[in-house]
Each structure stands twice: as structure tokens, then as C-alpha cells.
């Protein structure tokens, strides 16, 4: 066994720290969802049963996101979307790097949606419980970027700047040694988001609708990612536009709009009016009326027999 800067080598096979950190984040997310489910009186086994669905969907989604939105540094090396499409084995080689968080979230959500349909449970209710754990997993997973010396920001001389070794620097910054620890900023932001989401689950009460906490996550994460992208040096470009930043802005605005629409004045009243009327508890049921009539007839017959 040998420990290197990138991972642990066992019998010539390298287990990368990046992968270890991601798996630890996934397990931590499942544990948190388990605890939150117990608080709500729900089945705590659901997160563990759904883990494989979310993990497979997340990995596939994250990889596809990278394939279709490669960063400029890889494009310059000729590793474009077309390269992956014409070299499918390279697309499958996730050990060679290249996972996109937005795709991972989408893929994981799709995997859980399929699982929820099969188990006949509420997707939105469980998405609310998964959201804090998802933020925690992202906070932990970002430390994999530290070991890979990637996802760093612009050059800086701030006291908390990190040193990037020459092989991992972009060509235009080859003489710059210290950079913003962008992965750390996002990790801290995700931990704060996790705390906000847990607070919502505990304090939201009846004001919350199913799916509100997950929608709040879809506001918090995109907003943070949108502003952090201004510091990122190697962002995916589509038509000269920072694709991830633009998409994050669109998702945040859409999630805010949906939250406002769900809680618009009169929304609760409209929902109640759309439900079928509930019979009054005081109103007698048809079967009860029949039984009362039969008893009355029997009583009259008994009285006649006694008179005779």
C-alpha cells in the first residue's frame, strides 16, 4: 500500500481521494436523510433502499454533464463533446476526471423519482428530506477538488490562498502560484445552505407545502454557484457564454417564481375548493338510516305481540 498526493495505491490500483470523499458525502447524506425521516415519523429505510438509484443516476448525470459541457482547458487539448461521442470508452472512464454537479443533481433526482414511483411514495415529501443531505454531500465532495488541485479561483495573495502546483495551472497563469480556494468557498456555502434547509424543515410547520424545502435548495445552491462562477477560471462555455452560470441563474429565478406562485394569496383557498366536499361528521350514513328503520319496525312488532 502506498499513499500518494492523489490517492491510495493498492497492488498497482489507485483509489483516488476524490472518489473516497464523494462516497463519504453520499453516505453522510443518507444518514442525515435517515435521521430527518425518523423525525417525521417516516420509514428510515427508504434513503438506504434508494441509495443505489440515486448514486447510479447521479454518476451518469454528472458524467453526461461533463461530456456535453467540457471546460475550455480540455477543449484546447482536443477533448470535446465530439471526442467523447467518437470515443465512447473515454466517456465511460470517469476515473480520468470530469463530473458535473448540476448533472449529478438532475440524474440523482431522476433516479429517486423512478424509485419513488416504484415504491408508491411521495417524491416531493422525500425530496424535502433529501435536500439538506444533498447540500452536505456537495460540501464534502468539494474537498475532492482540493486533492485534485482543481476548481480554484482567480490568482490572489490573500492569507487563505492555496498553492497550485505548475502541472495543474492553466497555461495563461503558469507563473501564478496562489489562487482563491473556490472549492472551499462553495463547501462553506453548502454547509450554510444545509443549516437553512434543516431549519426550514423544523420550523416551517404547516406553512410549508410538500416540495418547498427542495425548491428552496434549488434557490440557494444556484445563487451561490452563480456568484462563485465569477471567480472561476475554467468555466464551460457555450456560444461564448458561461453555461453553468447562466443555467444557475435561470434555475434560481424559476424556483423563486414557483415558490411565490405556490404561496400566492388565495392559493390555499383555491386548493381547498378544488377538493371534493367532505361529508359532515354529524350527517347520518345511508347504512345507519336503514338499520334505524329496521330497529323501529322490530320494536313496533314487539309491542303488538305484547298487547296481544
pLDDT of residue 204: 84
pLDDT at 127: 96
Cell of 148: 485534485
pLDDT digits (tens, 9 = 90+) for 220-242: 999 999 999 999 988 887 777 88
Output the pTM of the full model.
0.82
pLDDT at 284: 45
CA–CA distance, 27 with 51 (Å, rounded to integer) = 9
pLDDT of residue 34: 96
**C-alpha to C-alpha distance for 296 and 289, rounded to whole angstroms:** 11
> Which single residue is written with the C-alpha cell 423544523?
202
pLDDT for the residue 306: 52
Looking at the chain, the whole-number percentage of residues with pLDDT higher than 70 is: 85
From CA 45, how far away is CA 26, in angstroms rounded?
15
What pLDDT, on a 0 to 100 scale, did the predictor assign at position 303? 54
- Contacts made by residues 3-9, CB under 8 angstroms, sequence distance 24+: 5/147, 6/147, 6/148, 7/147
What's the start-to-end Cα distance of the chain, in Å? 105
Residues of the chain with pLDDT below 70 are 95-97, 268-308
> Which pLDDT does position 290 carry in this prediction?
54
C-alpha cell at 288: 345507519
Amino acid at each position: 500500500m502506498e499513499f500518494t498526493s492523489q490517492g491510495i495505491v493498492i497492488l498497482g490500483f489507485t483509489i483516488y481521494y476524490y472518489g473516497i470523499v464523494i462516497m463519504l458525502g453520499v453516505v453522510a447524506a443518507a444518514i442525515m436523510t435517515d435521521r430527518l425521516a425518523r423525525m417525521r415519523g417516516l420509514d428510515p429505510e427508504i434513503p438506504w433502499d434508494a441509495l443505489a438509484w440515486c448514486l447510479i443516476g447521479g454518476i451518469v448525470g454528472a458524467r453526461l454533464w461533463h461530456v456535453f459541457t467540457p471546460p475550455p482547458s480540455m477543449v484546447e487539448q482536443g477533448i470535446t463533446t465530439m471526442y467523447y461521442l467518437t470515443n465512447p470508452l473515454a466517456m465511460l472512464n470517469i476515473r480520468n476526471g470530469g463530473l458535473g454537479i448540476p448533472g449529478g443533481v438532475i440524474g440523482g433526482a431522476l433516479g429517486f423519482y423512478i424509485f419513488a414511483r416504484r415504491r408508491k411514495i411521495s417524491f416531493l415529501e422525500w425530496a424535502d428530506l433529501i435536500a439538506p443531505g444533498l447540500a452536505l454531500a456537495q460540501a464534502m465532495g468539494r474537498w475532492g477538488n482540493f486533492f485534485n488541485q482543481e476548481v480554484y479561483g482567480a490568482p490572489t495573495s490573500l492569507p487563505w490562498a492555496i498553492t497550485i502546483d505548475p502541472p495543474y495551472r492553466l497555461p495563461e497563469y503558469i507563473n501564478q502560484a496562489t489562487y482563491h480556494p473556490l472549492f472551499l468557498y462553495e463547501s462553506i456555502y453548502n454547509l450554510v445552505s444545509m443549516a437553512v434547509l434543516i431549519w426550514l424543515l423544523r420550523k416551517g410547520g404547516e406553512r410549508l407545502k410538500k416540495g418547498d424545502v427542495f425548491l428552496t435548495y434549488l434557490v440557494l445552491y444556484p445563487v451561490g454557484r452563480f456568484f462563485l462562477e465569477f471567480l472561476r477560471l475554467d468555466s464551460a462555455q457555450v456560444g461564448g457564454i458561461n453555461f453553468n452560470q447562466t443555467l444557475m441563474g435561470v434555475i434560481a429565478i424559476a424556483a423563486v417564481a414557483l415558490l411565490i406562485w405556490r404561496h400566492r394569496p388565495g392559493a390555499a383557498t383555491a386548493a381547498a375548493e378544488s377538493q371534493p366536499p367532505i361529508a359532515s361528521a354529524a350527517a347520518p350514513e345511508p347504512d345507519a338510516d336503514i338499520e334505524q328503520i329496521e330497529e323501529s319496525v322490530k320494536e313496533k312488532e314487539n309491542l303488538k305481540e305484547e298487547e296481544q
